[in-house]
Amino acid sequence: MTAQPQKKTQNAVTVQPEWALHKAMWIAFPSDAELWLEDLAPAQEEAAAMANLIAEGEKVYMLACGDEAVASAKKLLGKNTEVVPAEFGDIWLRDTGPIWASVNGAHTALRFKVNGWGGKYDYPADRVIGDFIAKKSGSPIKAFDLVLEGGSLENDGEGTILTTKECLLNSNRNPGKSQEQIEDILKEAFGAGKILWLDDGLLNDHTDGHIDNIARFIGPNKVLCQSPVKNDPNEKVLKKIAADLEKMTAANGKKIEVVLAPSPGLVTGYEDEPMAASHMNFIIGNNAIAVPTYGTESADSAVAAIQKLFPDHKVKGLKSTSILTNGGGSFHCMTQQEPKE
């Protein structure tokens, strides 16, 4: 699939899917030594490897917090990247950054409320980093009265949004809003015609079940999710996700086509607890796709499955172990694409 601009309708809202052509990719660099501890340097190397791959096809803005982080980023990054000094709490720009849309033909930054993933990781700078990025990109802001992280929804660019009840209907996000009210806001913000709801995300996912760890739109009406491997701690939930998707239809009335790639299986953290490791947390660039890997046997098969789906892209598996085990996320979580149109 070659990155191309999607159709844009005047006097309406259009949010491009991730595979549409990008103007730039915004990424946050692991910066805080108190947060990352001994994982800081390896996490920085993992982030830089991903950024350099994406930069082969588009401009990359790498946000770094503090003089030492800025210096480290400049040392590790290659061509077509710009290091931007910025204040942020943690690196998860997918959740704290803007989501760009065409609103009545204008390139606009959609902004939602940030509450630290339900109050678990509440850094004040994360509430304003999205405004900083919007200003630097020259985009006007359209704000909505909804706590929403970008990683909690997937958009196919043609009117269908995929999300999870575990996250968006969680009492720690929007306790005063019903499912119907949340759907109405999503439809207004994204120009969507239908919201598809899965139930739960991965075990021990401190985002409360973000969709970008379990199921990804890879085209209109087409969703990639994971098949469990041997001794997979998420076996039941992964099977349910695929089965539920098989029963769904998109906004255009067509049946959702489900494609499978293998899960990483069991990946443990410092206290041997299962981590929310996922090959679904890949990021699609104009020319390349970075797939997070964690040293498990299924990595090569997962990368090959995604390469088959995107034959015009360079699909590469890249180590994301330190980003996951310390930070809890991976490549998609720390990036936000700015579409060309």
User: Which residues form the catalytic set?
Assistant: 333
Copy the structure tokens of residue 304: 């090959």
Copy the structure tokens of residue 132: 């900083």
Apex 22 CA angle, 18 and 23, nearest 5: 150
**Which DSSP symbol is given to 327?**
I
SS3 at position 294: coil
The strand pairing partners of 284, in sequence order, are: 289
- Interacting residues of 215 by C-beta distance below 8 A, sequence separation 6+: 154, 162, 198, 223, 224, 225, 241, 245, 280
Q: Cα–Cα distance between 22 and 218 in angstroms, integer?
A: 16
| Amino acid (1-letter code) at residue 207 | T
In sign, the C-alpha dihedral spanning 168, 170, 175, 181 is positive
8 A C-beta contact, residue 256 and residue 246: yes
